[in-house]
């Protein structure tokens, strides 16, 4: 492991030197590529430098203790430093192993999220709107851009289904764990008796596909235009600008009616279709190794109940990792970093354990 870390450290230093080269500074494409590679290496290099510093402190303290001739108070202080440094070294070693795990190649991509009401009728549609608001607020807080693709509204302001793109570096890495069934327990706005109902909403998260990854034959597409639908009011188009694209070989259907321009809607719909085809391709690959996959975090199984939002208790529970938080209102206002960070940690820990079991790490 440490030989690999030394290679990364040398590469980072070399990249740092290149950033001061006038020829590279004047080549915007190369400069951007170097900046991106350096950014990816930075967390590993910083953690490795902390490890080296801690190791040197430990060795220095041990040398002084071995030399002898120190008074009792100083010896006690050195022994405490040795114990603390040893514990810290173990922590840093574990953190470095996690950082060296293979990175998900989709992590830096934009992401398309589709939310659909499940069991619960109008109440499920209303909660679809709550989740859309939660993800939008979180995305904006992280500096991402939210772009609506398609929405099917209900009379009470909910969504039978809504799809949107979140653009920004690392968007997929933050949202990819949201795929699955989200369950809500609350007294519905439509319920006069005050009884608690349970409804479900399905969330699908797709990395945006690049053109080179998905080859679509134009003859395989059926493209229809129609008027945008909605709950009424000024947002409903009176022209046939909405687009529906059907991929005939797979039967996949995407719609986009957010833009008033037919061309813009078609462009967005094609992006969504490519992402769906990429997801299907990724799912085939993951199914091939399903027997080896024990950790469900990040598996993206839409049929899996992943989370419960309980309004009477102000509680959110993520069932995959057993995380329960009693600050539901805060979470629904987009403050979900704690949840996502816990999912990332659980996923990385499971992958690290799998690597150790396969013998990829020797514990040194």
> With bands split at pLDDT 50, 70 and 90, how would you rate the model's confidence at 162?
very high
pLDDT at 353 over 80: no
Other residues' Cβ atoms within 10 Å of the Cβ of residue 321: 20
Q: What is the mean pLDDT of residues 226-246?
A: 63
* Residue-by-residue DSSP string for 126-187: HHHHHHHHHHHHHHHHTT-EEEEEEEEE-TTS-EEEEEEEEESTTHHHHHGGG-EEEEEEE-
pLDDT digits (tens, 9 = 90+) for 6-56: 888 999 999 999 999 999 989 888 998 899 889 888 989 999 999 999 999
pLDDT at 251: 84
pLDDT at 289: 39
DSSP string, 175-232: HGGG-EEEEEEE--TT-SS---EEEEEEEEEEEPPPTTT----GGGEEEEEE----SS
The DSSP output letter for 319 is T
Q: Please tell me whether residues 157 and 59 are part of one structural domain.
A: no
User: 287, 284, 297: which is closest to 323 by C-alpha?
Assistant: 297
State both tokens at 187: 């007294």
| Residue bearing the bigger pLDDT, 254 or 59 | 59
- Residue 211 has a pLDDT of 54
CATH number of the domain that 249 lies in? 3.30.70.1660
Domain boundary among 49, 77, 99: 99
Query: Cα–Cα distance between 158 and 231 in angstroms, integer?
Result: 9
Model confidence at 248: pLDDT above 70: yes
Q: Do 318 and 226 have their domain in common?
A: yes
The tally of domains found in the chain comes to 2
**169/303 same-domain check:** yes
pLDDT in tens, 89-136: 998 988 888 788 777 788 888 999 999 998 888 889 999 999 999 999
Residue 162 lies in a domain: yes
Looking at the structure, do residues 174 and 237 belong to the same domain, yes or no? yes
- Whether residue 143 is found in the same domain as residue 213: yes
| Over residues 188-201, mean pLDDT | 79
- Do 246 and 182 have their domain in common? yes
Strand pairing report for 197-207 and 252-256: unpaired
Residue 279, classified by CB atoms within 10 Å of its CB into exposed (0-12), middle (13-18) or buried (19+), is buried
Cβ neighbour number for residue 15 with a 10 Å cutoff: 19
pTM summary value: 0.67
Q: How confident is the model at residue 286 (pLDDT cuts 50, 70, 90)?
A: low
pLDDT at 222: 86
Together in a domain, 73 and 178: no
The 3-state DSSP class for residue 312 equals coil
* Rounded CA separation 96/88 (Å): 12
Determine the Cα–Cα distance for residues 23 and 91; give it in Å rounded to an integer: 41
Q: Which domain holds residue 63?
A: 2-99
pLDDT for 108 equals 86
Q: Considering only CA atoms, which of 221, 161, 180 is closest in space to residue 343?
A: 180
Size (the chain), residues: 364
158 assigned to some structural domain:
yes
Please check the confidence at residue 355 and state whether its pLDDT lies above 80.
no
| Cα(201)–Cα(127) distance, integer angstroms | 7
Whether residue 139 has pLDDT greater than 60:
yes
Express each pLDDT in 260-274 by its tens digit. Answer: 677 788 888 888 888
In the predicted structure, residue 158 carries a pLDDT above the cut 60: yes
Report yes or no on 356 lying in a domain: no
Contact 162, 172 (CB under 8 A): no
**Sign of the alpha-carbon torsion through 154, 158, 161, 166:** positive
Out of 99, 125, 140, pick the residue that ends a domain: 99
Contact, 181 vs 306, CB < 8 A? yes
Residues 66 and 179 in one domain: no
* One domain, residues 293 and 267: yes
Q: Which residue has the tokens 């398609």?
A: 150
Nearest to 11 by CA among 41, 31, 54, 51: 41
Residue 46 has a pLDDT of: 93
In a domain, 360, yes or no: no
Which residue has better confidence, 48 or 225?
A: 48
Which has the minimum average pLDDT: 129-133, 203-207, 257-261?
Answer: 257-261
């Amino acid at each position: 492991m440490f030989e690999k870390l030394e290679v990364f450290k040398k590469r980072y230093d070399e990249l740092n030197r290149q950033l001061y080269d006038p020829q590279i500074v004047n080549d915007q494409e190369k400069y951007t590529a170097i900046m991106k590679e350096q950014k990816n290496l930075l967390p590993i290099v910083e953690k490795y430098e902390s490890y080296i510093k801690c190791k040197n402190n430990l060795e220095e303290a041990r040398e002084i203790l071995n030399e002898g001739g120190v008074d009792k108070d100083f010896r006690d202080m050195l022994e405490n430093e040795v114990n603390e440094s040893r514990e810290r070294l173990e922590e840093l070693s574990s953190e470095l192993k996690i950082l060296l795990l293979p990175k998900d190649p989709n992590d830096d991509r934009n992401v398309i999220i589709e939310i659909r009401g499940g069991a619960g009728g109008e109440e499920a549609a209303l909660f679809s709107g709550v989740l859309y608001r939660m993800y939008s607020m979180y995305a904006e807080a992280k500096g991402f851009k939210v772009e609506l693709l398609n929405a099917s509204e209900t009379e009470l302001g909910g969504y039978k289904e809504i799809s949107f793109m979140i653009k920004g570096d690392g968007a997929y890495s933050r949202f990819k764990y949201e795929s699955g069934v989200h369950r809500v327990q609350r007294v519905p706005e439509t319920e006069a008796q005050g009884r608690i109902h349970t409804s479900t909403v399905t969330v699908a998260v797709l990395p945006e596909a690049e053109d080179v990854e998905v080859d679509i034959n134009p003859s395989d597409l059926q493209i229809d235009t129609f008027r945008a639908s909605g709950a009424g009011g000024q947002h409903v188009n009176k022209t046939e600008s909405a687009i529906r694209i059907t991929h005939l070989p797979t039967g996949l259907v995407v719609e986009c009616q957010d833009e008033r321009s037919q061309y813009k809607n078609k462009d967005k719909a094609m992006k969504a279709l490519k992402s769906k085809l990429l997801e299907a391709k990724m799912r085939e690959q993951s199914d091939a190794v399903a027997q080896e996959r024990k950790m469900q975090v990040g598996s993206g199984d839409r049929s899996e109940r992943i989370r419960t939002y309980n309004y009477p208790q102000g509680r959110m529970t993520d069932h995959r990792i057993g995380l329960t938080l009693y600050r539901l209102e805060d979470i629904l206002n987009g403050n979900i970093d704690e949840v996502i960070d816990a999912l990332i940690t659980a996923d990385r820990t499971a992958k690290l354990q799998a690597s150790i079991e396969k013998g990829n790490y020797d514990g040194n």
